């Protein structure tokens, strides 16, 4: 993958991270991108890319999120057109060498200027006058002598230079320290982000497993309910041929107070008159029969009137 802009050497094989963006689908916007590339020959915009070096920072929609490690790739804003044609060289070694060359140049100029000032203060002596020079005895002179050793060891002429550049160097060191600290914080945030992403992924997997488990259990319960409903319907169909409707209601609801029909009363009286022991045995086993007290009351009672034959025996009839 290579940048389509003319004279741009960016490609995906470089060590430094560089994002590449596809040409937009919009034809008018794609033409603007192609014009910006300044290519002499016609090229296919669908298979071409432009690197991030030709866009401003404001053109990136998620620049901060990407730098913090919260985004996998950079995303351009809609309708953005590249505007930076000349890409500055971002090689850190080359920048460092240029700074060193500039510093050496400044030092050399200051040294030359200092030497020139010292040379202008020296008065040249002609060779012709050298013969007329006399020896001067300085042992008894009041003029203080210059200690050359101290003069050589303490180059006071360079002190203004160092004082001038001391403050910028300290500021640069402070900025480098702050930058290193911020990079460490960003790295820590990236680690925390990766850890949280792993935890979220594990939580999603566990949630998906629980959903599948509950779905399986729900289907199993629905199947069991359907089977039980079918069995219940089958059993009720068989019990209809054995018990009456009131007896089935007693079996279903376990009601303590029931209005028995005339047919149920007659059946109970018949079973009790044949054998009260069998009746008590069936009643104690849960067989849907009226209580023994009611059966005795019905036996002692006269036959029901004609208008009560189609109605149920109630507790009012026992009074």
Per-residue H/E/C for 83-148:
CCCCCCCCCHHHHHHHHHHHHHHHHHHHHHHHHHHHHHHCCCCCHHHHHHCCCCCCCCCCCCCCCH
Please say if the pLDDT value at position 202 is more than 90. Answer: yes
pTM (2 decimals)?
0.30
pLDDT tens sequence across 123-170: 454 444 444 444 445 445 454 544 544 444 444 555 555 555 556 667
Widest distance between CA atoms in the chain: 180
pLDDT at 132: 45
In a domain, 212, yes or no: no
**175-180: average pLDDT:** 85
**What stretches of 240-261 show up as alpha helix (H) in DSSP?**
245-253
User: In the listed set 89, 108, 137, which residue is the last one of a domain according to the structure?
Assistant: 89
In a domain, 259, yes or no: yes
User: What region, left, alpha or beta, does residue 5 occupy, with left being phi > 0 and alpha being psi -120 to 50 degrees?
Assistant: beta
Among 36, 46, 33, CA closest to 6: 36
In a domain, 276, yes or no: yes
In a domain, 73, yes or no: yes
Write the CB contacts of 18 (distance below 8 Å, at least 6 apart in sequence). Answer: 10, 12, 51, 52, 53
pLDDT at 153: 44
- Token pair of 129, please? 């006058």
Do 69 and 191 touch, CB atoms closer than 8 A? Answer: no
CA distance 31 to 37: 10
Give residue 71's pLDDT band: very low, low, confident or very high (50, 70, 90): confident
Among 286, 282, 222, 290, CA closest to 260: 290
Do 236 and 249 touch, CB atoms closer than 8 A? Answer: no
Count the domains in the chain: 2
In a domain, 8, yes or no: yes
pLDDT at 41: 86
**216-234: average pLDDT:** 89
Which residue, chain included where needed, has tokens 């009286």?
A: 269
pLDDT at 301: 76
Domain of residue 49, residue span: 1-89
SS3 3: strand
Give residue 106's pLDDT band: very low, low, confident or very high (50, 70, 90): confident
In a domain, 154, yes or no: no
In a domain, 149, yes or no: no
pLDDT at 309: 41
**163-180: average pLDDT:** 73
pLDDT at 50: 93
pLDDT at 34: 92
pLDDT tens sequence across 279-293: 888 888 777 788 888
**102-120: average pLDDT:** 74
Give residue 316's pLDDT band: very low, low, confident or very high (50, 70, 90): very low
- Token pair of 272, please? 């009790």
User: In the listed set 89, 118, 145, which residue is the last one of a domain according to the structure?
Assistant: 89
In a domain, 293, yes or no: yes
Burial class (CB in 10 A: 0-12, 13-18, 19+), 176: exposed
């Amino acid at each position: 993958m290579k940048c389509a802009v003319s004279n741009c050497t960016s490609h995906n094989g470089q060590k430094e991270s560089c994002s590449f963006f596809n040409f937009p689908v919009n034809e008018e916007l794609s033409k603007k991108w192609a014009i910006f590339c300044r290519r002499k020959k016609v090229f296919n915009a669908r298979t071409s890319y432009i690197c991030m070096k030709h866009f401003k920072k404001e053109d990136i929609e998620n620049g901060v999120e990407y730098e913090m490690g919260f985004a996998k790739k950079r995303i351009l804003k809609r309708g953005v057109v590249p505007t930076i044609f000349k890409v500055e060289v971002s090689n850190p070694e080359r920048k460092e060498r240029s700074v060193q060359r500039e510093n050496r140049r400044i030092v050399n100029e200051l040294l030359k200027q200092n030497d020139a000032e010292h040379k202008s203060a020296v008065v040249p002596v002609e060779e012709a006058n050298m013969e007329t020079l006399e020896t001067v005895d300085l042992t008894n002179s009041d003029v203080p002598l210059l200690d050359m050793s101290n003069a050589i060891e303490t180059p006071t002429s360079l002190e203004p230079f160092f004082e001038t550049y001391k403050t910028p160097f300290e500021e640069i060191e402070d900025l480098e320290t702050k930058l290193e600290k911020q990079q460490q914080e960003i790295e820590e945030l990236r680690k925390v982000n990766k850890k949280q992403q792993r935890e979220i992924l594990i939580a999603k997997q566990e949630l998906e497993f629980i959903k599948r488990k509950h779905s399986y259990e729900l289907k199993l319960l629905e199947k069991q309910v359907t089977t039980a409903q079918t069995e219940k319907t089958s059993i009720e169909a068989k019990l209809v041929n054995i018990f009456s409707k009131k007896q089935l209601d007693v079996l279903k609801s376990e009601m303590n107070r029931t209005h028995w029909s005339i047919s149920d009363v007659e059946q109970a009286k018949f079973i009790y008159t044949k054998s009260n022991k069998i009746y008590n045995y069936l009643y104690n086993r849960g067989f849907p029969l009226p209580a023994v007290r009611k059966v005795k009351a019905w036996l002692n009672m006269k036959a029901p009137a004609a208008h009560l034959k189609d109605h149920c025996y109630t507790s009012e009839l026992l009074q």
